[in-house]
Structure 1
């Protein structure tokens, strides 16, 4: 149930039966729109619909906590086509994360959603996942949002019933000591346990509307990352091998042990090994699509989906990297 209600007058963006925040004057132009009294928790999602003004160079969305802390600072830089993400503690900026290939254009309308999970904020544009920002403080501490500069707002609304299911991690015996050390750490820590991880997808509804998201940060010396969707017999059904060393930066996809795709991602993952790598597997009623660093690398048809994805029962992630986010979500 939404906490704030107001008439929805802007057609063409979202379902008009949804509620929006009650102090959003429709069609206002920022530089400043704020809303206090927000209460976030896992499963909450805040969405804004807006028009990017033609002269805009950047705009900002802040999720703010008491004592001048910012849990999530989003700065969309239109000229550079990147999203910069950061947070503050006691008024001091922390380390910044950047994601390129921002899918926004000046003079065009867009929607942006921020979904709160137990471990991270997940940012989407036009209902497509774009970035993840791990929590550096409890999301429940957020009590206000601010939107600044360069937008013409059409609507802002708040949902509390977005359905998503975090995956449980099962760590191999060889990594039990490492797991014991990491399990005591706060999920808000900037230090993440190393791979490998294995998790079960048994009983997970993988039909239309499902989305599996993995975000990793490769180690400086990492050469490859492996993501395998396994069958019940333990054999890989879909095997992704990402070559992240400086000289290559490409992905090789194996479909039940057969190489079906090999493409270059050097500009995204080879140029800078310290960047985050996003792997997103999306299912619709007719297809399964795999995106790496927001670039489509594979699509399965309905027939392939039934014979392949339906037999997937587990997920294995290996390589020299920090696992930041791994979660399964679905609408409805």
Structure 2
């Protein structure tokens, strides 16, 4: 049973501090990316969005402290499908921890987050919790990060005062080997594509899948251009007719989001505190479906939800996605499990 945790900020955290490392405009291939001057504390989260190069056997992410100490060493072994975690003291390795069933594949995009708590580092892939590593030294001692080998980085950034919502979406998942085989054709990823961008899912009319179906999850991260006024995300049905049209007004004067379902306005709310004040911030969008409902999160804030019955004419029949506007589209990732 896999759990998708839908993150958003509770009251008091709707206008978070998010600092961008290198303006999230990397588009570089490791062997080495380092960043000094990082200050960690409980509630901080480092996130990277990247593409695993096809020839990659492993990659490394290190959280480093002074005097050659490593507070957290993550080595993702793609061939063995495991994550090895360790730390060093005075240059000497300590006991290693391993977690198997690593959900990464060569030639695919992914996001990885490391959340700092008072007791441990929590590691997530594609918004799903995967592993925990208890602190062996104070997290506050970390002052740099390093990313090595086998990745094409699209974004590296960190957040403070990060909170997980208690809300969880339960997505049934078959045996891991069967799931990998059956879902391989249901995963679409793009890192740094150009706008306008289009994604079309195949076989929706026959399988009843699509963007609005049980186990479907669409993750989009973009950074609006300084002169941007609107960003448009449109879904279409298999017959080519409009399904849901999500429009973000990102200019300073409005900072609003409106959602149209089959040409009818169904939602209009203000996100000015999130996307109106600073266009350099990321806009994170998550569309996630369970067996019974669909929810849309923008900047980690729930802005729309509908039951399967309310979406009866659209459920299992939405196959097209288009994104337009003035923005840097960092990651567009769709997966469907089950």
TM range (shorter): 0.3 to 0.5
- After superposition, the Cα gap between the structure-2 partners of 1:105 and 1:265, relative to the gap in structure 1 and judged at 3 Å, is farther
How far is 1:142 from its partner?
Answer: 0.1
How far is 1:55 from its partner?
Answer: 0.2
Give me the whole-angstrom Cα distance separating, in 2, the residues matched to 1:85 and 1:309: 41
How far is 1:26 from its partner?
Answer: 1.7
TM-score (norm 1): 0.47
Give me the whole-angstrom Cα distance separating, in 2, the residues matched to 1:327 and 1:38: 28
CA contact (8 A) 2:47 2:112 kept: yes
RMSD: 18.6
How far is 1:93 from its partner?
Answer: 0.3
Deviations 1:32-71 (A, max 9, x none): 0000000000000000000000000000000000000000
How far is 1:304 from its partner?
Answer: 19
Structure 1 range deviating more: 238-247 or 87-96: 238-247
Give me the whole-angstrom Cα distance separating, in 1, the residues matched to 2:195 and 2:19: 41
3-state secondary structure, aligned to 1:326:
strand
The number of aligned residues is 332
How far is 1:96 from its partner?
Answer: 0.3
TM-score (norm 2): 0.46
For structure 1, the 5+ residue unaligned runs are none
3-state secondary structure, aligned to 2:19:
coil
Give me the whole-angstrom Cα distance separating, in 1, the residues matched to 2:266 and 2:7: 50
How far is 1:168 from its partner?
Answer: 21
- After superposition, the Cα gap between the structure-2 partners of 1:87 and 1:152, relative to the gap in structure 1 and judged at 3 Å, is same
3-state secondary structure, aligned to 1:275:
coil
How far is 1:20 from its partner?
Answer: 2.2
Structure 1 range deviating more: 204-213 or 189-198: 189-198
For structure 2, the 5+ residue unaligned runs are 211-216
How far is 1:27 from its partner?
Answer: 1.1
The corresponding residue for 1:103 is 103
Give me the whole-angstrom Cα distance separating, in 1, the residues matched to 2:169 and 2:275: 25
3-state secondary structure, aligned to 2:131:
strand
Give me the whole-angstrom Cα distance separating, in 2, the residues matched to 1:275 and 1:223: 14
3-state secondary structure, aligned to 1:309:
coil
How far is 1:161 from its partner?
Answer: 2.3
